[in-house]
Structure 1
Amino acid sequence: MNPALANRPGQHLRIAALLCTLLLSLLGAGARAELQLLDGIAAIVNDDVVMLSELRAETEMIYQQLLRTQNQAPPRDALAGQVLERLILDKLQLAIAQRAGAQISESELDQAVAQVAEGQGLSVEQLFAQAAADGLSRDWVRDKIRNEVIIGRVQQSIVNRRITISDQEIDNFLNTNSSELLNAEELQIGHLMLPLSSGTDEQTIAATREKAEALREQILQGADFRQLAVLHSSGQNALQGGDLGWRAANQLPTAFAIALRDLEPGQVTAPIRTDA
């Protein structure tokens, strides 16, 4: 036994108390650090990441947009899953754009911001004020629109590379009554897409069709199509309630045009399986 310690019996207690106090202080600091955590990683996308702050900001923006345009919105936690998928896809497409050197000038960005504002019936300053009310800065809005324009160009480039027009299609176009093309009916279309990859087994195909039928039945029973699209669709317009905007009937995929031909406004098609 160490005689120095033996002569001071209370020192063990004081040392133990000091260690306990230090340990509690460290635990307290750790707890405070956890409460003050400002950011983290929501997903890793190749050499990039989706930050939790990005996910929160994007989810809140979509949530507020849905409230303004549809007077209702899914719970934020349910919406966040769809938003995260969208952010991951955006990161992948922006990486493609960066490798291709795609960019837009400040004047082009100004025009794009003005178009977004006009599409919402707002002035540019009103658009920024609305974003500020949602906790989003002017720079955040401009960066968001810049990325959307760049992604749109990437998507269009991919589509253009895939388009092949045969001589027969040219002949068909030339033989078509031009006035019929110019006067084609326009439709505002909602789209809810459930994905099927190539080589999917029959059991998965059947389960996906069953889900599509169940969603259609919910819509027929009065469920909001846009809300279901936000929660379940994997289409690019899912977070806009599946709204594809106004499309000329003769510019739609053939399967869509046939299915929509005899529908009245507000009606919904049966599930359609397509190759793309």
Structure 2
Amino acid sequence: MKLQQVICLAFIGCLSIASVAAEKEIDRIAAIVDNSVVLKSDIDDVVNRVKRNAQAQGQTLPSDQALRTQATERLILTSLQLQLAQRMGLQISDAQLDDTIRNIARGENLSLEAFRRQVEAEEGDYERFREKLREEIITGEVVRGNVQRRIYISPQEVDSLLRLMEEQGAVSEEYNLGHILIALPSQATSEEINDVKDRADKVMELLQSGSDFRRIAIASSSGAKALEGGELGFMNINEMPTLFAESIRDKKKGDLIGPIRSGAGFHILTIFDIRGENVAEIQEVHSRHILIKPSIIVSEERARSRLAEFVTQIRAGEADFAALAKAHSEDPGSKMNGGDLGWSEPQVFVPAFRDTLLRLAPNDISEPFRTEHGWHIAQVLAKRVVDATADKKREQVYRMIYNRRFNEESANFLKEIRDEAFIDVLPES
């Protein structure tokens, strides 16, 4: 009997060994980030996307290890922002996501089905694309919500910059900057500062000897746009961080600038391109809308269908837009004016609302559409082009200062949440 037990146990042990041998790694944890993790498959996705984009643009890339390091850092920051969003109760519903995708498709002059086919051809998995887009919207809202409260711009600041721009002949050029940041650790010692400075000098030497800026940015930069080759996009000199603005004055396209020291580390800049703005006229729209906010009582579908009924009634001449807005709109700022929003630049509205107004011809009424505020229908009453008056110039100057502060504070905010987090990047096996 004992022999049978021994044989049975041995047989079970052999099955267990065979089972373990037959196991195949599906995925694994690459980093622990506070209460969440970064998976190896997520890193693979980011790296593969960067490679596809680089191949399409004929761009060379650094080693896979450098790409994986950058992708890991990007995903760590994304994870921290998503966890913060969860604590804030911030969510993006399927309806909001669908409306964003419709706007993206419309902007590319594609039907929703054609856009889906394009995504599947380029990304492979449409549902994964949807969830990544949802994450991008959420992380954008997290940064915006936490950074906006840090920004105060006084009327005196606007007056000073407006006066300075007029004295300089209203500089209108916009610069597409390349940026590499060799970051300093928090509370760096003198030895650490010297070490980081040496690394920055070596990066500068590589660039001066002809190395591709974008490739070096992907390999070496700790900046937020490292995986985009350090490209920051077009900015007026008054929108960019003051340190950058002072450094690029009188510089030409292709010039290398740096290393420049800041609290974050050592920066190296280049000017990818320069263009003139020369916008003398502004388009304005006179619009009105009706807003219904989904709630526990009013579902997403009920809010949308109710507005669809309003559109049918208005188009058939059975109801008046202003009367319906006064009776049903949940926008306290425009409700009593029949939903009237007055004359304004479309750019002052959230993207989905702005894009809808730009598409509509005068007197057209939109189908129901979703923004972060709820479900809307909108009507454009008229459009006009106006000169850039003193008030408009003040608004532009205010936006320049705001954009500069927002960029600076966004970088500070992301550094703060990373410094405060528990992060353990696991070694690759």
**Shorter-chain TM-score: what band?**
0.7 to 0.9
Q: CA separation of 1:55/1:168 partners in 2, compared to 1, >3 Å: closer, same or farther?
A: same
SS in 2 for 1:193: strand
Tell me the distance in 2 between the aligned counterparts of 1:37 and 1:173. Answer: 59
Q: Is the deviation greater in 127-136 or in 99-108? A: 127-136
Q: CA separation of 1:157/1:186 partners in 2, compared to 1, >3 Å: closer, same or farther?
A: same
Q: Deviations over 1:176-199 (max 9, x none)?
A: 456969652100111111112442
Partner of residue 70 from structure 2, selected from 79, 82, 106: 82
Tell me the distance in 1 between the aligned counterparts of 2:103 and 2:251. Answer: 32
Partner of 1:143: 131
Q: Does residue 59 of structure 2 align to residue 68 of structure 1?
A: no
Question: Contact 2:47–2:68 (CA<8 Å) still a contact in 1?
Answer: yes
Q: CA separation of 1:131/1:227 partners in 2, compared to 1, >3 Å: closer, same or farther?
A: farther
Q: How does 1:151-170 map to 2 (within 5 A)?
A: 151-166=139-154, 168-170=156-158
Tell me the distance in 1 between the aligned counterparts of 2:173 and 2:138. Answer: 31
What is the TM-score with the length of structure 1 in the denominator?
0.79
Q: CA separation of 1:158/1:43 partners in 2, compared to 1, >3 Å: closer, same or farther?
A: same
Q: Does residue 36 of structure 2 align to residue 48 of structure 1?
A: yes
Q: How does 1:111-190 map to 2 (within 5 A)?
A: 112-113=100-101, 123=110, 128-129=116-117, 131-133=119-121, 136-166=124-154, 168-173=156-161, 175-177=163-165, 183-190=171-178
Q: Is the deviation greater in 241-250 or in 152-161? A: 152-161
Partner of 1:30: 20
Tell me the distance in 1 between the aligned counterparts of 2:173 and 2:113. Answer: 36
Tell me the distance in 2 between the aligned counterparts of 1:236 and 1:122. Answer: 30
Partner of residue 194 from structure 1, selected from 182, 204, 207: 182
Tell me the distance in 1 between the aligned counterparts of 2:93 and 2:168. Answer: 39
Q: Which amino acid aligns with 1:90?
A: T
Whose helix fraction is larger, Structure 1's or Structure 2's? 1
Tell me the distance in 2 between the aligned counterparts of 1:139 and 1:75. Answer: 30
RMSD, matched Cα: 3.2
Q: CA separation of 1:196/1:265 partners in 2, compared to 1, >3 Å: closer, same or farther?
A: same
Question: Contact 1:191–1:244 (CA<8 Å) still a contact in 2?
Answer: yes
Shift of 1:166: 4.6
Shift of 1:103: 3.0
Q: CA separation of 1:196/1:111 partners in 2, compared to 1, >3 Å: closer, same or farther?
A: farther
Tell me the distance in 1 between the aligned counterparts of 2:102 and 2:169. Answer: 31
Q: CA separation of 1:192/1:171 partners in 2, compared to 1, >3 Å: closer, same or farther?
A: same
Shift of 1:231: 1.4
Shift of 1:86: 0.9
Question: Contact 1:42–1:49 (CA<8 Å) still a contact in 2?
Answer: yes
Q: CA separation of 1:135/1:20 partners in 2, compared to 1, >3 Å: closer, same or farther?
A: farther
Q: CA separation of 1:160/1:179 partners in 2, compared to 1, >3 Å: closer, same or farther?
A: farther
Q: Does residue 255 of structure 2 align to residue 255 of structure 1?
A: no
SS in 2 for 1:215: helix
Partner of 1:99: 87
Q: CA separation of 1:265/1:241 partners in 2, compared to 1, >3 Å: closer, same or farther?
A: same
Q: CA separation of 1:156/1:111 partners in 2, compared to 1, >3 Å: closer, same or farther?
A: same
SS in 2 for 1:250: coil
Question: Contact 1:62–1:239 (CA<8 Å) still a contact in 2?
Answer: yes
Partner of 2:27: 39
Shift of 1:205: 1.0
Tell me the distance in 2 between the aligned counterparts of 1:214 and 1:49. Answer: 34
What is the TM-score with the length of structure 2 in the denominator?
0.53
Unaligned runs of 5+ in 1: 6-10
Count of residue correspondences: 261
SS in 1 for 2:177: strand
Q: Does residue 237 of structure 2 align to residue 270 of structure 1?
A: no
Shift of 1:85: 1.2
Unaligned runs of 5+ in 2: 265-429
SS in 2 for 1:42: strand
Tell me the distance in 2 between the aligned counterparts of 1:210 and 1:79. Answer: 22
Shift of 1:92: 0.4
Tell me the distance in 2 between the aligned counterparts of 1:197 and 1:211. Answer: 14
Tell me the distance in 1 between the aligned counterparts of 2:184 and 2:109. Answer: 39
Partner of 1:8: none
Q: CA separation of 1:23/1:255 partners in 2, compared to 1, >3 Å: closer, same or farther?
A: same
Q: Does residue 220 of structure 2 align to residue 232 of structure 1?
A: yes
SS in 2 for 1:262: coil
Q: CA separation of 1:29/1:133 partners in 2, compared to 1, >3 Å: closer, same or farther?
A: farther
Q: CA separation of 1:178/1:144 partners in 2, compared to 1, >3 Å: closer, same or farther?
A: farther
Q: Does residue 205 of structure 2 align to residue 217 of structure 1?
A: yes
Whose strand fraction is larger, Structure 1's or Structure 2's? 2
